Structure 1
């Protein structure tokens, strides 16, 4: 993603708290409080979804990020955002909150899984 686009993304997320962007696998991971909640791949932003939030993304016409592994498509739990969310912070923040909530639920589920072992 070009530097100016990353700067725009920072502006969109300015009201969302301390957000860090780190290079990863040819794109960037977007972190809050050290936890990833979004990725930027091939110049597009994708937010974390889970079973509780997926329907909202589907209803808004968003699509999953699909990674190709050994020639086979592998959809990940990151979905695109509606176009209007990329235009203004007040449109982006509700989507970022959904992604953050999904990331927190995933983290809690992983911790519960570790305790059971």
Structure 2
């Protein structure tokens, strides 16, 4: 299977060379394709998947193209990429156009994210916790603030049930922009009591 994937990577680099210097590296059990460190496609099990964006999604949904699936700890995660079928491989002009759209969209999103603070840049939030928040559907600071500490913690526990009240306090501190130890005593006590009650109710 690795041999098939490398053959597909080579084919992709040749066909999509007008996009620029295409690099690849291991990611999500497959390989990401990048131009100037911007990921616009994935190769998995010998198949090419293009990153979804407004333009590419219209085409791929119409074609009922399957998304890229990633298995992590027994859970299947649907990634935002669509498979390129043989028909599209046969239409080099259309493939290049869709790939250009995917790259342009990825560049725009990366530029927007650079201007935003990452989750792991907030107090108390490690890279590992940031990854779990992404899995729970909380990918940026704005979403974390919108959900709030309690709802975000519940969503995290759906990803990893063993998370304790300490993570709830860490989230509350991150939202306030302070270390969890600096939370006001009344806020801290209310969160601990609420979290412990939640754990008790959901352990039965």
RMSD between aligned residues? 2.5
Residue 60 (structure 1) aligned with residue 63 (structure 2):
yes
Query: Larger % of helix: which?
Result: 2
1:19 to 11, 18, 22: 22
Equivalent residue number for residue 81 of structure 1: 84
10-19 or 34-43, which deviates more:
10-19
DSSP-derived class of the 2:117 partner: helix
Distance (whole Å) between structure 1 residues aligned to residue 105 and residue 94 of structure 2: 18
> Is the aligned partner of 1:49 residue 2:38?
no
Q: C-alpha deviations, 1:78-117, integer Å up to 9, x for none? A: 1112422223532320110121122123213323432988
Q: 1:9-35 deviations in whole A, cap 9, x for unaligned? A: 222112222211223354221011121
1:70 Cα deviation (Å)? Answer: 2.6
In the comparison of the two structures, how many residue pairs are matched? 116
Cα offset for 1:44?
Answer: 0.9
Distance 1:105 1:15 in 2: 19
Bigger strand fraction: 1
TM-score by length of 1: 0.79
**Structure index of larger Rg:** 2
Structure 1: segments with no counterpart, 5+ residues: none
Distance change (3 Å), C-alpha of 1:61 and 1:82: farther
TM-score with structure 2 setting the length: 0.49
Q: Is the 8 A contact 1:61 1:82 kept in 2?
A: no
Larger RCO, structures 1/2 (Cα 8 Å, 6+ apart) = 1
Q: 1:57 to 1:88 in 2, by over 3 A?
A: closer
CA distance in 1 between partners of 2:108 and 2:11 (Å): 28
Residue 8 of structure 1: aligned partner: 11
Equivalent residues of 1:19, 1:31 under 8 A apart: yes
User: Structure 1 runs of 4+ off > 4 angstroms?
Assistant: none
Separation of aligned partners in 2, 1:106 and 1:77: 14
